[in-house]
Amino acid sequence: MVLCKKKRSKINSKKNLRNEIFSKIQQFTNFLTFQFGHPNICTHINYAFAFVTDDGRGLRIFEANDFTLYAQIMALKLKNPNLKVILSVGGWTHGTGGFALAAASESSRTTFAYNALTFIKTHKFDGIDIDWEYPGFAGGPKPGKSSDKHNYVPFLQKLKDVFHASSPPLLGLDFE
């Protein structure tokens, strides 16, 4: 799925405001043929999803055609050099398993952050979006532990530190 944040337009009524809010996101699933011909209507695209590896050490693709679709989305930047493409990691079907292992200790957070940075740079993304549903949640496809809630903020802080220290600094984990 690809989410596209549209450029802001002038809103002149409450009705237009509602339409503008609901038109800001366009979605495409990664298991369908990707067709997106107007990259100039967007400022950012979130590509959903990648997964955390089962051992919590890095990232992996979600669908078999993701590498092909990554290249197609990055080609949009040739038409709009200001376009930012962010990789969303996680989602409901991911569960909490790999995230829990990645966040469990200072060492695992550091390993994951640097491996995630390498994956993001290798595939030319501009940043990362973490969609961990939900730290400490005992249900779902891959249940978590109560310690996940305590590890969540240090996990995000490590990612932010590593991504912002990269050259060039990458987006994600804040509202810059």
Helices (H), strands (E): how many in the chain?
Answer: 5, 6
Residue 176 identity (one-letter amino acid): E
| Active-site residue (options: 20, 63, 106, 133) | 133
Q: 133 catalytic, yes or no?
A: yes
Looking at 80-176, list the stretches that DSSP marks H as alpha helix, in order from N- to C-terminal side: 97-103, 106-122, 147-165
- Distance, in Å, from the CA atom of 137 to the CA atom of 144, rounded to the nearest integer, reads 5
E strands along the chain, which residues? 2-6, 27-28, 42-52, 59-61, 84-90, 127-131
- Distance, in Å, from the CA atom of 117 to the CA atom of 131, rounded to the nearest integer, reads 16
CA diameter of the chain? 52
Q: Which residues contact 127 (CB under 8 A, 6 or more apart)?
A: 84, 86, 87, 120, 163, 170, 171, 172
Which residues are the active-site residues? 133
